[in-house]
Amino acid sequence: MIICEIAPFKRLFTMIPLMPDYILSAWNIFGNYTAILLMTAGLILVLSYYFYLLILTDKKSRYDYINKNEIKSLWFSFLLFAVGATLLLNTLFSPTTWLWFFVRLFLSSMMTIIISVVVQNMLKFYFPFFIEKRLKKLRYSPRISADGNIMKLLSEEEEDVYLDEGMQAEENVFSIDYDVWIDEKTGSTKIEKYNGKLRALKCENCNYQTLKLVKEEVIQKATLQNTGELTKLFCCTYCGHKQKKSHNIAKLNPKALSTD
């Protein structure tokens, strides 16, 4: 009785055409090679990123390298690895029918797309917190001068003496920060330039490190007598929250002007 009920299903399954051996084995072999190639490329990319970081000793260079490359490297190596792994999964079943082949291909591709979206969002919105912490540590940990002495980071007020007019103007108007390190024993200095536009700040609405500078406007120019005013417009790339901040621009320095 039971056998009779199962029989129609059995017939249905045998009607689905089996994937011919020569196509399947060609797919399995070449798919396998390509998958291993892609996964290896992904691993090499991420390893070479960290290897290069390992041999970079200068803190400022490390800072710039991480800032510029870390998220990009992790994302592309993940993509290579994920596509490779998906392909590999689809080369492991033999024999198979056309139907199962496409069902498996479709489901695994969907799965990969979903995981990729999650990973992309983590890299975009959560990971910057982690990077920012490391960058801060790199930026503010003591530099060593050429003479081997520990250098001291000057405060915003102290550092102006060491920056030329152009640098000061840049610091006031454009989103560029200069850090001045001084070797107090020999008086030698080291000036490092940081781009404030690249750095994302913490959004006060969603708390993610995704607040980016979109516009700067000088409301009032600084003169010899009066300070000027600058507004910065920030926009959060995560929640779209907008934030405005006003800054004073220092009075022009008469000494610097007369030397022009």
Binding site residues, Zn ion, CB under 5 A: 203, 205-206, 236, 238-239, 241
Looking at the Cβ atoms of 163 and 206, the one nearer to Zn ion is 206
**In Å, what is the CA distance from 113 to each residue of 9, 79, 82?**
33, 10, 9
How crowded is the C-beta side of 175, counted as CA atoms within 13 Å? 19
Cβ 122 to Zn ion, closest distance in Å? 16
Looking at the Cβ atoms of 232 and 241, the one nearer to Zn ion is 241
Contact between 181 and 154 (Cβ < 8 Å): yes
Report cis status (omega within 30 of 0) of the bond before 95: yes
Cβ 240 to Zn ion, closest distance in Å? 7
**In Å, what is the CA distance from 18 to each residue of 9, 98, 195, 246?**
16, 6, 60, 71
Please give the Cα distance from 135 to 62 (Å, whole number). Answer: 9
Cβ 211 to Zn ion, closest distance in Å? 6
Looking at the Cβ atoms of 242 and 251, the one nearer to Zn ion is 242
Cβ 125 to Zn ion, closest distance in Å? 9
Phi-psi region of 47 (alpha: psi -120 to 50; beta: other; left: phi over 0): alpha
Which token pair is 199? 């750095």
Looking at the Cβ atoms of 49 and 208, the one nearer to Zn ion is 208
Looking at the Cβ atoms of 59 and 241, the one nearer to Zn ion is 241
* Nearest alpha carbon to residue 196 among 159, 170, 235: 170
Cβ 195 to Zn ion, closest distance in Å? 21
**In Å, what is the CA distance from 27 to each residue of 30, 94, 95?**
5, 11, 12
Burial 92-129 (b: 16+ CB within 10 A, else e): eeeebbeeebeeeeeebeeebeeeeeebeeebebebbe
Cβ 229 to Zn ion, closest distance in Å? 26
Cβ 214 to Zn ion, closest distance in Å? 13
Looking at the Cβ atoms of 38 and 200, the one nearer to Zn ion is 200
Cβ 128 to Zn ion, closest distance in Å? 12
Please give the Cα distance from 232 to 175 (Å, whole number). Answer: 9
- What residues contact residue 150 under an 8 Å CB cut-off, 6+ apart? 142, 143, 144
Looking at the Cβ atoms of 227 and 243, the one nearer to Zn ion is 243
Looking at the Cβ atoms of 79 and 239, the one nearer to Zn ion is 239
